[in-house]
């Protein structure tokens, strides 16, 4: 035991131990492995129609485009709808989303084609794309505001995108309604 204490007292050994501990801590922060075992479920309603006194989802909400998510890096399923409210605002809605959790997940509108398998994993940030914000949860129903200037004729796909590792968890091509 005395021999171990002598080795641990050397400055070089202490430096290596500290560097190793910092590397492990940085790796945990970067990869966030615990998210693989933690699900975040979101249950948002269809956006409310403001100023009409009518219930949510009623009174002229139009579906502009739809799509079914396919898996890329992680098993992903669910439906995507782009809705237009009577006031002209648009919302991207994820319904029955089921994917893995991960660090820095975003919802992207993109001009990239949706390709199945590994060919589609890395394409969504190559061309034109618009981030609609961080994914609110890896399961459930959720809404994301589409900025007013976004041309839906240009952005023809949606990806659940991991910004940390530049990979798509899942994606869909949008079909105009």
**Average pLDDT for 2-26:** 65
pLDDT category at 49 given cuts 50, 70, 90 is low
Q: Read off the pLDDT of residues 25-47 as tens digits, 9 standing for 90 and up.
A: 555 555 566 556 688 999 999 98
Looking at every residue in the chain, the average pLDDT score rounds to 85
pLDDT category at 102 given cuts 50, 70, 90 is confident
Distance from C-alpha of 73 to C-alpha of 105, rounded to nearest angstrom: 12
Distance from C-alpha of 57 to C-alpha of 45, rounded to nearest angstrom: 8
Residue 66 sits at φ, ψ, to 5 deg, of -140, 165
Distance from C-alpha of 26 to C-alpha of 48, rounded to nearest angstrom: 42
pLDDT of residue 75: 94
3-state secondary structure the chain: CHHHHHHHCCHHHHHHHHHHHHHHHHHHHHHCHHHHHCCCEEECCCCCCCCCCCCCCCCCCEEEEEEECEECCCCCEEEEEEEECCCCCEEEEEEEEECCCCCCEEEEEECCCCCCHHHHCCCCCCCCEEEEEECCCCEEEEEEEECCCCCCCCCCEEEEEECCCCEEEEEEECEEC
- Which residue has better confidence, 85 or 8? 85
Q: Read off the pLDDT of residues 130-163 as tens digits, 9 standing for 90 and up.
A: 999 999 999 999 999 999 999 999 999 999 999 9
Cβ 108 vs Cβ 123: under 8 Å? no
pLDDT of residue 108: 97
pLDDT of residue 55: 46
pLDDT of residue 53: 46
């Amino acid at each position: 035991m005395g021999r171990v204490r002598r080795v641990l007292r050397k400055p070089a050994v202490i430096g290596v131990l500290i560097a190793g501990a910092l590397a492990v801590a940085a790796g945990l922060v970067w990869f966030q492995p615990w998210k693989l075992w933690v699900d975040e479920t979101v249950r948002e309603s269809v956006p409310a129609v403001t100023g009409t006194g009518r219930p949510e989802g009623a009174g002229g909400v139009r579906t502009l485009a739809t799509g079914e998510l396919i898996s890329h890096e992680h098993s992903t399923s669910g439906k995507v709808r782009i809705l237009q409210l009577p006031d002209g605002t648009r919302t991207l809605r994820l319904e029955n989303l089921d994917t893995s959790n991960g660090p820095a997940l975003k919802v992207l509108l993109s001009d990239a084609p949706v390709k199945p398998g590994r060919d589609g994993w890395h394409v969504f940030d190559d061309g034109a794309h618009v981030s609609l914000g961080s994914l609110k949860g890896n399961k459930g129903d959720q809404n994301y505001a589409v900025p007013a200037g976004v041309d839906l004729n240009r952005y023809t796909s949606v990806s659940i995108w991991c910004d940390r590792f530049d990979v798509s968890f899942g994606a869909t091509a949008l079909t105009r309604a």
